């Protein structure tokens, strides 16, 4: 008998009855989008849950990245990481800007601050790092460099829902941060996303930009776009927020089980908690050293698939290797040795709120039994 399919993630779904009640209310109010009741309520609930001053909901996690670059009037070149989901770099391209790839730090998988200064030119106007796997970038060093060269910092924090460093939200660093609430993320609204900003003035401007630039019935203050979240998904988010703490706790339990089982397996590296950081346990990447482990990453990946265990090679291939970006000088693999190595070593193991002990054992067996 074939074992049931284990996927890398499974969407967190709100309680159906609770969600239905909210939907009934939306039906009775007959207000289904355009900054409605649930849109406002989810924004307010997210501000308190995430301990952030201001947030603006979006229809996905890509449009806040594109909009952030617009809002800060970024020009020329943007320094970024190749070790991410393609949307990070695409947002730069969609603004007619040039992405400049900088290598990553093997301990955080985020951009390596030591390599940023060498990539700065007179055309550089921003840095777009990613809190990869929800692990905080070296935010202090990045800010120091940004201050020295008068650069803006936009964090792609798509993975960093609920992550805190020294008791403060990681989303408060930089000029703006963006979140994704896609089905595959720790917290989801089916599709969805948000931008986190430091002050009310920016919040107002972003709210205009995500609604065509409208600042009132007849006034358009900027060439905006339509990227606002509707009531149906905002209500879904409110119901899902009630389940998020338990979901993260379950993810943590699975993470600890993986670490315990894999701690003495030669050639398998994984990431530990960082001191002072509250993690969200969104991903469990392992890095396979072929020589020490005795099997290549891809061979292990295929072997897992044969056992119906589907990990994902996040982030392989590197963004810099896709045809659109391959031609850039900074895409040369010689410029990106760490990112290139990790992209060839990584498998993210199945990790979500609904993983049973048996599921975890099945994953571990694939890696240990040879």
Ligand X SMILES: *Cc1c(COP(=O)(O)O)cnc(C)c1O
The residue written with tokens 């896709």 in the block is 322
Q: Please state the closest distance from residue 46 (CB atom) to ligand X, in A.
A: 15
Which of 163, 143, 138, 168 lies closest to 153 in space, CA to CA? Answer: 143
Q: Pick from 36, 136, 162, 193: which binds ligand X (CB under 6 A)?
A: 193
Q: Toward ligand X, which CB reaches closer, 61 or 113?
A: 61
Q: Are strands 124-128 and 77-80 parallel, antiparallel or unpaired?
A: parallel
Q: Please state the closest distance from residue 267 (CB atom) to ligand X, in A.
A: 27
Q: Toward ligand X, which CB reaches closer, 131 or 165?
A: 131
Q: Toward ligand X, which CB reaches closer, 155 or 293?
A: 155
State the Cα–Cα distance between residues 297 and 289, nearest whole angstrom.
8
In the shown chain, the binding pattern of residues 200 to 239 toward ligand X, with x for contact by CB under 6 A and - for none, equals ----------------------------------------
The residue written with tokens 């890095």 in the block is 287
Asked if 330 touches ligand X (CB under 6 A), the answer is no
State the Cα–Cα distance between residues 257 and 8, nearest whole angstrom.
16
Q: Pick from 12, 22, 111, 158: which binds ligand X (CB under 6 A)?
A: 158
Rule CB under 6 A: which of 14-73 touch ligand X? 60-62
Q: Pick from 182, 251, 279, 297: which binds ligand X (CB under 6 A)?
A: 182
In sequence order, the 6+-apart residues with CB closer than 8 A to the CB of 323 are: none
- Give the binding range for ligand X (CB under 6 A) out of 21-29, 95-103, 134-142, 152-160: 152-160
State the Cα–Cα distance between residues 22 and 233, nearest whole angstrom.
11
Which pair of tokens denotes residue 235?
């209500």
Cα distances from 334 to residues 64, 130, 330, 340, in angstroms, run 32, 21, 9, 9
Question: For the chain, first and last CA: distance in Å?
Answer: 21
- The answer to whether 263 and 255 are in contact (CB under 8 A) is no
Which pair of tokens denotes residue 233?
């998904």
In sequence order, the 6+-apart residues with CB closer than 8 A to the CB of 254 are: 281, 284, 351, 352, 355, 360
Q: Toward ligand X, which CB reaches closer, 61 or 99?
A: 61
Asked if 156 touches ligand X (CB under 6 A), the answer is yes
Rule CB under 6 A: which of 83-142 touch ligand X? 84-85, 87-88, 130
Which of 224, 229, 192, 202 lies closest to 211 in space, CA to CA? Answer: 224
Q: Please state the closest distance from residue 185 (CB atom) to ligand X, in A.
A: 6
Which of 170, 55, 100 lies closest to 330 in space, CA to CA? Answer: 100
Q: Toward ligand X, which CB reaches closer, 85 or 325?
A: 85
Size of the site for ligand X (CB under 6 A): 14
Q: Toward ligand X, which CB reaches closer, 112 or 180?
A: 180
Q: Toward ligand X, which CB reaches closer, 284 or 293?
A: 284
Q: Toward ligand X, which CB reaches closer, 193 or 224?
A: 193
Can you tell me whether residue 224 is helix, strand or coil?
A: coil
Q: Toward ligand X, which CB reaches closer, 38 or 85?
A: 85
Give the residue at shortest CB distance from ligand X: 61
Q: Any idea what DSSP says for residue 228? A: P
Q: Please state the closest distance from residue 27 (CB atom) to ligand X, in A.
A: 27
- Give the binding range for ligand X (CB under 6 A) out of 151-159, 233-241, 244-252, 265-273: 151-159
- Residues found near ligand X in the complex (CB under 6 A): 60-62, 84-85, 87-88, 130, 156, 158-159, 180, 182, 193
């Amino acid at each position: 008998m074939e074992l049931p399919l284990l996927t890398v993630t499974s969407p967190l779904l709100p309680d159906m009855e609770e969600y239905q009640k909210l939907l009934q209310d939306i039906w009775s109010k007959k207000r289904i989008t355009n900054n409605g009741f649930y849109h406002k309520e989810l924004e307010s609930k997210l501000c308190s849950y995430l301990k952030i001053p201001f947030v603006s909901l979006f229809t996905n996690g890509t449009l806040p990245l594109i909009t952030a670059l617009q809002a800060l009037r970024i020009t020329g070149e943007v320094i970024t990481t190749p070790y991410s989901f393609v949307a990070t770099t695409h947002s730069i391209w969609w603004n007619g800007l040039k992405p400049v790839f900088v290598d990553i730090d093997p301990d955080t998988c985020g951009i390596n601050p030591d390599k940023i200064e060498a990539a700065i030119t007179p055309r550089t106007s921003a840095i777009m790092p990613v809190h990869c796997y929800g692990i905080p970038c070296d935010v202090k060093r990045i800010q120091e460099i940004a201050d020295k060269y008068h650069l803006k910092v936009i964090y792609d924090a798509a993975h960093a829902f609920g992550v805190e460093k020294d008791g403060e939200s990681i989303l408060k660093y930089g000029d703006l941060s963006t979140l994704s609430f896609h089905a595959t993320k720790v917290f989801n609204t089916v599709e969805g996303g948000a931008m986190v900003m430091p002050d009310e003035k920016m919040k107002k401007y972003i709210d205009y930009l995500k609604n065509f630039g409208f600042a009132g019935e007849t006034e358009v203050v900027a060439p905006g776009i339509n990227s606002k979240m509707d009531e149906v998904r905002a209500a879904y988010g409110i119901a899902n927020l009630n389940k998020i703490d338990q979901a993260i706790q379950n993810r943590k339990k699975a993470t600890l089980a993986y670490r315990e089982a894999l701690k003495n397996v030669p050639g398998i590296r994984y990431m530990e908690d960082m001191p002072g950081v509250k993690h969200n346990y969104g991903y469990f990447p392992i890095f396979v050293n072929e020589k020490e482990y005795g099997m290549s990453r891809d061979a292990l990946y295929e072997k897992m698939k044969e056992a119906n265990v589907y990990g994902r090679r996040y982030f392989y291939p590197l963004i810099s290797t896709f045809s659109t970006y391959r031609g850039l000088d900074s895409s040369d693999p010689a410029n990106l040795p760490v990112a290139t190595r990790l992209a060839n070593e990584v498998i993210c193991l199945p990790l979500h709120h609904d993983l049973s002990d048996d599921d975890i054992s099945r994953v571990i067996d694939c890696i240990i039994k040879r």
